[in-house]
Amino acid sequence: EVQLVESGGGLVQPGRSLKLSCLASGFTFSNYGMNWIRQAPGKGLEWVASISSSSSYIYYADTVKGRFTISRDNAKNTLYLQMTSLRSEDTALYYCARRTHSGPYWGQGVMVTVSS
Amino acid sequence: DIQMTQSPSFLSASVGDRVTINCKASQNINKYLNWYQQKLGEAPKRLIYNTNNLQTGIPSRFSGSGSGTDYTLTISSLQPEDFATYFCLQHNSLLTFGSGTKLEIK
């Protein structure tokens, strides 16, 4: 069974940093491109970042470019999102998602709250 | 980047009505278009993938169509449990979500 388990969320002050992790299981992690997606409270979904299976290709939404870094460790079956210079508008439920032919398959998400 | 324009933003309808929701892409997305339903406090549920493929367990009153840049979700006969927010997602090039359609009871 495919599982994606996000962790690392919580309450953080504006301007500070936080690193999210996503532990994958039930599939060969190193074969798949991965994404981070987020949903702010009461808002729609927003794609955040993508990384190819070998980390050769990385893309970011304009709203996080220069502040967030997506990475992966295929030996540990883990996807990461390093978030710096956090803003209140980054408050959201963050989902890790595996790329598939039928669209992203995402986990349960982890909440990040940016507030003083 | 591909932009997705979803319409309408709000839709008021009655049980038994046929409704359609539209998404228009800024360029050809080769039918890589999914539809999701989301209810308050719940994770999104995929209804349709790749334009017209019904997700397992989803009632057949939901259907999708389209090609190129224009895509449609149709609910043939609204049921009480269908009142929710719907959104589209293109996954042809990276990911872009539609802005959502809130379907309310008239």
pLDDT in tens for each of the 106 residues of chain B?
A: 999 999 999 999 999 999 999 999 999 999 999 999 999 988 899 999 999 999 999 999 999 999 999 999 999 999 999 999 999 999 999 999 999 999 998 8
Q: How many CB pairs under 8 A join A and B?
A: 38
With b meaning 16 or more CB within 10 Å and e meaning fewer, what string describes B56-69? eeeeeebbbebeeb
Q: What is the per-residue pLDDT for A52?
A: 97
Which residue, among A70, A72, A45, has the nearest Cα to A60 in the 3D structure?
A: A70
What token pair was written down for B9?
């933003």
Whether chain B has a CB inside 8 Å of the CB on A45: the answer is yes
Sign of CA dihedral A112, A114, B3, B9: positive
Sign of CA dihedral A39, A105, B95, B22: negative
**pLDDT > 90? residue A68:** yes
What token pair was written down for A90?
């980054």
β-bridge pairing A18-25 and A45-51 = unpaired
List CB contacts (< 8 A) between B43 and chain A: 106, 108-109
Contact between A45 and B87 using a beta-carbon 8 Å cutoff: yes
β-bridge pairing B10-13 and B101-105 = parallel
What token pair was written down for B40?
């308050």
List CB contacts (< 8 A) between B32 and chain A: 103
To test the contact with chain B by mutation, choose from A47, A65, A110 the residue with the greatest count of B C-beta atoms within 10 A, namely A47
Contact between A102 and B94 using a beta-carbon 8 Å cutoff: no
Q: What is the per-residue pLDDT for B106?
A: 87
Which residue, among A61, A62, A40, has the nearest Cα to A49 in the 3D structure?
A: A61
Q: What is the per-residue pLDDT for B41?
A: 87
Which residue, among A74, A3, A73, A86, has the nearest Cα to A38 in the 3D structure?
A: A86
Whether chain A has a CB inside 8 Å of the CB on B44: the answer is yes
For residues A28-50, average pLDDT: 96
Q: How far off is chain A from B3, nearest CA to CA, in Å? A: 12
pLDDT in tens, B54-75: 999 999 999 999 999 999 999 9
Q: How far off is chain B from A109, nearest CA to CA, in Å? A: 9
Contact between B99 and A37 using a beta-carbon 8 Å cutoff: no
Which residue, among A98, A82, A102, A79, has the nearest Cα to A90 in the 3D structure?
A: A82
Residue of chain A whose alpha carbon sits nearest to that of B37: A44
Q: How far off is chain B from A101, nearest CA to CA, in Å? A: 8
pLDDT in tens, A95-115: 999 999 999 999 999 999 999
